[in-house]
Structure 1
Amino acid sequence: MKKEFYSNGKLLLSGEYAILDGALGLAIPTSYGQSLHVTPTTTGFLEWTSFEENKNIWFSAKLDLTNLSIVSTSDQSVAKTLKSLLLEANEQNPLLLTDSEGFQIETHLTFPTSWGLGTSSTLINNLAQWARVDAYQLLWNAFGGSGYDIACAQHVSAITYQLKDGKPEINKVSFDPKFKDSLYFIHLNQKQSSKEAIANYRKQQFNKDDLLGRISDITNNMVSENILTKFESLMEEHEAILSEILQIPTVKSRIFPDYPNAIKSLGAWGGDFVLAVGNENTLDYFRGKGFKTIIPFSKMAL
Structure 2
Amino acid sequence: MKEFRSNGKLFLIGEYIVMDGAKAFALPTKFGQCLFVEENLNQENLISWKAKKHDDSLWFEAQFELSSLTIIKTSNQKLSESLQKILVQAKSLNPSFFNSNLSFKCETKLEYPQEWGLGSSSTLIDLIAKWVEINPFELNKLTFNTSGYDVACAHHSQPILFSNNPITTQLIDLNWNFIDDLYFVYLNQKQDTQAVVGNHYKNKEKNWDLIHYLSDLVEQATKVESLNELESILDEYQDKLADFMHQPKVKDLYFSDYKGSVKSLGAWGGDFVLVTKREGFEEYFKQKGYTTIVPFREMIL
Same topology, TM > 0.5: yes
Distance 2:79 2:5 in 1: 21
Which residue does 1:225 correspond to in 2? 224
Residue aligning to 1:62: 63
1:177 corresponds in structure 2 to 176
Query: Residue 63 and residue 99 in structure 1: after superposition, are their counterparts in 2 closer, same or farther (change >3 A)?
Result: closer
Match of 2:280 in 1: 281
Aligned pair in 2 of structure 1 residues 70, 22: CA closer, same or farther (>3 Å)?
same
Q: CA deviation at 1:277?
A: 0.5
**Using a 3 Å threshold, how does the CA distance of structure 1 residues 99 and 34 change in structure 2: closer, same or farther?**
farther
1:69 to 1:197, Cα distance in 2 relative to 1, 3 A? farther
Q: Which runs of 5+ in 1 are unaligned?
A: none
Aligned to 1:111, the other structure's residue is in SS state coil
Q: Give 1:72 shift.
A: 2.1
d(CA) in 2 for partners of 1:71 and 1:280? Answer: 57
* Contact 2:259/2:278, CA 8 A, preserved across alignment: no
**Aligned residue in 2 for 1:9:** 8
Conserved in 2, the CA contact under 8 Å of 1:13 and 1:26? yes
AA aligned to 1:258 is D
User: What is the 5 A alignment of 1:94-113?
Assistant: 94-98=95-99, 100-113=101-114
Counterpart for residue 234 of structure 1: 233
Quote the Cα distance in structure 2 between the aligned partners of 1:265 and 1:89.
Answer: 33
1:257-294 CA-to-partner distances (Å, cap 9, x unmatched) read 11111101011111211110015721111111111211
Given that 1:192 and 1:270 are in contact with CA atoms closer than 8 Å, whether structure 2 keeps it comes out as: yes
By how many angstroms is 1:210 displaced?
1.5
- Identify which range, 251-260 or 224-233, moves more after superposition: 224-233
Structure 1 residues 92-171: aligned runs within 5 Å:
92-98=93-99, 100-164=101-165, 167-171=166-170
1:52 and 1:280 map into 2 onto residues whose CA distance is 36
Distance 1:65 1:301, change over 3 A: same
TM-score (norm 1): 0.93
Gaps of at least 5 residues in structure 2 are none
Which amino acid in the other structure matches residue 21 of structure 2?
G
**CA 12–179 in structure 1, closer or farther in 2 if over 3 Å, else same:** same
Instruction: State the 1:244 CA deviation.
Output: 2.4
Whole-angstrom distance in 2 between the partners of 1:225 and 1:179: 10
**Aligned residue number for residue 188 of structure 1:** 187
How does the TM-score come out when normalised to structure 2?
0.94
In structure 2, distance between residues paired with 1:154 and 1:296: 23
> After TM superposition, what 4+ stretches of structure 1 lie above 6 angstroms from structure 2?
none
* Identity rate, percent: 38
Paired letter, 1:232: E
- Residue 197 of structure 1: CA displacement? 4.9
SS at match of 1:95: helix
CA 1:213–1:301: 2 relative to 1, 3 Å = same
3-state secondary structure, aligned to 1:60: strand
**How far off is 1:127 after superposition?**
0.3
Question: For 2:136 and 2:239, how far apart are their aligned partners in 1?
Answer: 33
Counterpart amino acid of residue 55 in structure 1: D
- Give the distance between the partners of 1:280 and 1:200, measured in 2 at CA: 36
Give deviations 1:96-150, integer Å, cap 9, x for gaps: 2217532111001111111111111111001001111110010011111111111
- Could you say what secondary structure the match of 2:234 adopts? helix
Whole-angstrom CA distance in 2 between matches of 1:89 and 1:184: 37
- Is 1:28 the counterpart of 2:27? The answer is yes
Cα distance in 1 for residues equivalent to 2:89 and 2:195: 20
Mapped partners of 1:9, 1:195: distance in 2: 21
Compute the RMSD of aligned alpha carbons. Answer: 1.7
Which residue does 1:204 correspond to in 2?
204
Across the two proteins, how many residue pairs are aligned to each other?
Answer: 298
- Contact 2:62–2:80 (Cα < 8 Å) also in 1: yes
Give the residue type in structure 2 aligned to 1:74: S
How far residue 15 of structure 1 moved from its aligned partner, in angstroms, is 0.3
Q: Deviations over 1:215-268 (max 9, x none)?
A: 211112211112212211111111112222333210000011111111010111
CA contact (8 A) 1:31 1:301 kept: yes
Residue-by-residue CA offset, 1:17-74 (whole Å, 9 max, x unaligned) = 1111111111111111111111122154211111111111112212222321222222
